[in-house]
Amino acid sequence: MGDDKAVSLDLSNYELRWPTSLFVAEGERILQSTGSPWEERAKRLLTEALVGTTAVADFEEIPSHKDPAADPWATTASRWGTAHQAGKDQCDWFDELIKRATELRQAAAPRPYWPRRHGSGLSHDDRTPRETRQDFARLIGEYCVDDHDDLPDASEAIERRLGIPDLWPLAPETWDEETFYGLIEVLHDLVSRPRKRWHHSHGGCGWHHSEFHNGPARILYRCKVNQLLREAGIEYEPAAEGEDLGRLVAVTDDARSALVHRARNDSAPDIMTRIRHAIALFRGHDTTVESKRSAIVTLAGVLEERRALIKDHIGKHDDWALFEIANRYDLRHRNADQRGDYDEAFMDCIFWRYLATVELTTDSQCGCQGRLMTRCEGVSPVGRGWVAR
C-alpha cells in the first residue's frame, strides 16, 4: 500500500481495547475470508475491539466495492479497481487499519475527575468484591429471553466441571469467593468467540451468535479478567500457558513471568514435564505449603542431575550452598535434624532461585553460561547469596 494512502487514515479517534496481536490476527483472517459478506464480520470486529462506535460509523460511510478475497491472485491495484483515484473503499480502509494497528492507542480508564483528585464527593473505596463479581457477570453476557439456542445447557456444563448446581444464569450476589474464582476458571475453558451473528428482536434480546472459536476468545477473556481483577486489587490472573492454563495463579513481576515462560518452553525435553508440573504446583491461587515444598523438591531433583554442570559454571561455593538448602532445611529429606523454623516466604525465595538455576543451566548446556549469575540476581528477593539470612 502506498504512503499516499497511509497518511490519509486518521487513527486519532480510535482506541483499542483488545490486545494488538489478537486484533491483527482476526482482521487478517477477515480480509482472507470467503463466503458470507466480509463487511459484517469487519463491523463486528470493530465493534468488539475498538472503543465506541466511531470506527464502525467511519467504515459504513465508505463505499463498498469488492470482496477482499474474491480474487486471491489480484494485486492491490486490480482488487480495489480505481480506489487510488476515487478514494478508499471499505476493503482498502480496513486493510490499512489492520496494517497500522500498532499505532492505535490502547484504551485506558480515564484519569480521576476533580472530586476524586481533590478527595471529595466520591468514596475512594467504590469497588467492593460484590461489585467485582457483578462486573464479571456483565463481562460474560446475558441469557436469551427465548432460551432457544442450540447449545448445551450452561448450568449443567458448569455443574459437571465445578460441582455446584444452578450457577447459570449468573447471579453474582449469591457467590462466595471460592465460587467466584471457580467460575473464572471454568468459563475460561468454556468460552468461545463468535465470528457470525444475527439480530433477535423479540423482547429486546439482541444479537445471537454462531461460528465459535475458543483460541481468540481465551486470549481476550484473560485480558479482560486480568483488568477486572487488577482494578479490584486481587493479585491473581488466569495462567496464559502450561499445565495450569486458565487456572488462577499469583501475579508476579515481569522478570518472574518471563522466567516462567522461558523455563516452561525452553527446558530440555527430558525435564520439561517436571518443570511445568512444579510451576503449576507452586503458583496456583489455592497452593499450600506442602504443594510449594513438592515443587521445590521437584526442581532440586533436576538440579541434582546437573550438579557437575553447576559446579563447573557457577562455582564450588555456590554449588554447596544450593544443595545445602535442599538437604539441611525441612524440604527434601524431612529428617528429625532438618531445620523447619523458617517463614513461608523463604520457600518462595528458594523456588525462584531453583527455577532460575534450572533455566540457566539449560542455557549453559547450549553454551550460554555467561548469563548465569546476572539472571539469578534478577529473580532473587534476598540478594546474591544462595542462603537466605
> Cα separation of 195 and 199, whole Å?
14
Strand, helix or coil at 238? strand
* pTM (two decimals): 0.66
Amino acid present at 97: L
Beta-carbon contacts of residue 337 (< 8 Å; ≥ 6 apart): none
Instruction: Confirm if 160 and 152 have CB atoms less than 8 A apart.
Output: no
For residue 195, the surrounding DSSP H or E stretch is strand 193-200
**Burial of 322 per CB tally in 10 Å (0-12, 13-18, 19+):** buried
| Segments making up each domain of the chain, as ranges | 3-106, 128-236, 253-379
> Cα separation of 314 and 361, whole Å?
9
Per-residue CA distances from 241 to 78, 260, 319 (Å): 43, 10, 31
Per-residue CA distances from 85 to 4, 11, 81 (Å): 11, 22, 9
pLDDT block averages, 10 residues each, the chain of length 389: 53 91 95 80 92 90 64 43 51 95 85 55 53 90 55 84 91 92 92 71 64 81 93 92 89 91 87 92 88 90 86 64 69 56 78 90 55 40 31
The beta-carbon contacts of 166-171 under 8 Å, at least 24 apart in sequence, are: 168/143, 169/142, 169/143, 170/137, 170/140, 171/137
Given the DSSP bridges, would you call strands 193-200 and 206-213 parallel, antiparallel or unpaired?
antiparallel
Measure the CA dihedral 376/379/382/385, to 10°.
Answer: -10
Residue 85 confidence (pLDDT):
34
Strand, helix or coil at 250? strand
> Helices 214-231 and 129-140, interaxial angle, to 10°?
160
Q: What φ, ψ does residue 150 adopt, rounded to 5°?
A: -85, 60
Instruction: Confirm if 360 and 371 have CB atoms less than 8 A apart.
Output: yes
Given the DSSP bridges, would you call strands 105-106 and 15-16 parallel, antiparallel or unpaired?
parallel
Give the residue ranges of DSSP H helices in the chain: 3-6, 20-31, 38-49, 54-61, 76-79, 83-86, 90-99, 114-117, 129-140, 154-162, 177-190, 214-231, 254-266, 272-283, 289-305, 307-313, 316-328, 344-365, 372-379
Neighbours of 190 (CB within 10 A): 17
Which residues on neighbouring strands pair with residue 339, listed in sequence order?
329
Please spell the DSSP secondary structure of 267-323, one letter per residue.
S-TTTHHHHHHHHHHHHBTT--HHHHHHHHHHHHHHHHHTHHHHHHHT-HHHHHHHH
Residue 111 confidence (pLDDT):
61
Q: Which residues of 98-132 are buried (b: 16+ CB within 10 A; e: fewer)?
A: bbebeebeebeeeeeeeeeeeeeeeeeeeeeeeeb
